[in-house]
Amino acid sequence: MKRPITAALAVIGYVIMIVPIIFVVATAFTAGSTLRFPPDGISLRWFDEALGYEPFIEAAISSLQLAMLATVLALLVGVPATLAVHRGKLPGKGLVEGLFLSPLIVPELVVGLALFQQLMIGMDLGNFSTLLVGHTALMLPYAVRVTGASLALADPGLEEAARGLGASPLRAFFTVTLPVLRPGIFSAGLLSVVTSFNNVPLSLLLQGRDFRTLPVTMLDYVQQSYDPMVAAASTLILAATVVIAVIAERTVGFAKIFGGINQ
């Protein structure tokens, strides 16, 4: 090992992240009825319970709807904006990029509170609409980063080559530029769905009686009853998240999504 300290830190990091997850996953498979480690026997009964628990299923569908809509909106706004900033000769490129990336820096509770005041109280918007606005803003950095990174890596000569071979600017964009960006956009979309689905702070702040996301519903549930069903639900979410993350990693690689946008 070339850098022992870095390696040691990495190992500690993994342990800190993974041990609690192992605990949750293990208790989800318990045959008993309390959240205890080590579990009393092994069964799938709590998975059955979780999948049959109406409020969780409803909330999961809501969460998924919110996550997908927010992702589509974020891509629809973020991708063209990034293209315009990178390709056009617009002034203030850094400013626009900064604006789109700012949700990464501003604490979510602040964003949530601002949206609560302005949209729900001020404009009397329903909590789904407000949540959608909030999540869209939160997902924008993914769209912007990944499009920017893919564009920076794509050879600007590609579009010119297509033009030279007889393609109109529009044709060149759709047959060359967009297909080259597609894997990046696709995996940004996946990660953005996962992030929105798992989001707690914003969803917690903007929850309402008529619309609740799954994490918020689970949080409520835990406050009342402390049984392994929540662990089972968490395990299911974890499994889905891992699958999606692996797909995203296979298509472009995290380095490109989380890496800088200004290479």
Partner 1 sequence: MTAAAELIGVTQRFGSFTAVDEIGLAIAPGKLTTLLGPSGCGKTTTLRMIAGYSAPTSGTIRIDGIDSTRTPPEKRDLGMVFQSYALFPHMTVADNVGYGLKLRKVPSAERRSRVMETLELVGLAHLADRKPKKLSGGQQQRVALARAIAIRPRLLLLDEPLSNLDARLRVQMRAEIRRIQAETQLTVILVTHDQDEALEMSDEMVIMNEGRIVQQGSPQQVFPRPADRFVAEFLGYENFLTAADGTPLTIRPEHLRVVENGHKQGHGLDAMVVDVAFRGVDLLVSLDVVDPSGATVRLLADVRSGATLTPGSSVTVIAPDDRLVSLPR
- CB-nearer residue toward partner 1: 107 or 157: 157
Tokens of 257: 């999504």
Using CB under 8 A, list all residues that contact partner 1: 155, 157-158, 160-168, 171, 175-176, 179-180, 182
Q: How far is the CB of 124 from partner 1 (least distance, A)?
A: 47
Of residues 158, 244, 150, 151, the one with CA closest to residue 197:
244
Count of CB atoms situated within 10 Å of the CB of 227: 18
Distance CA 30, CA 45 (A): 8
CB of 154 to partner 1, least distance (A): 8
Whichever of 32 and 183 has its CB closer to partner 1, that residue is: 183
Closest separation in Å from C-beta 153 to partner 1: 10
Give the SS3 label for residue 149: helix
Q: Between residues 154 and 236, which has the closer beta carbon with respect to partner 1?
A: 154
Nearer of residues 122 and 169 to partner 1, judged by Cβ: 169
Dist. CA 7–CA 228, nearest whole Å: 35
Token pair for residue 138?
């939160």
Shortest Cβ 162–partner 1 spacing (Å): 7
CB of 122 or CB of 164, closer to partner 1: 164
Q: CB of residue 163 vs partner 1: minimum separation in angstroms?
A: 4
Cβ atoms of residues 138 and 104 within 8 Å: no
State which residue, 126 or 179, has the beta carbon closest to partner 1: 179
| Rounded alpha-carbon distances, angstroms, from residue 64 to 2, 33, 151, 165, 212 | 44, 29, 29, 43, 11
CA-to-CA distance for 163 and 157, rounded, in angstroms? 10
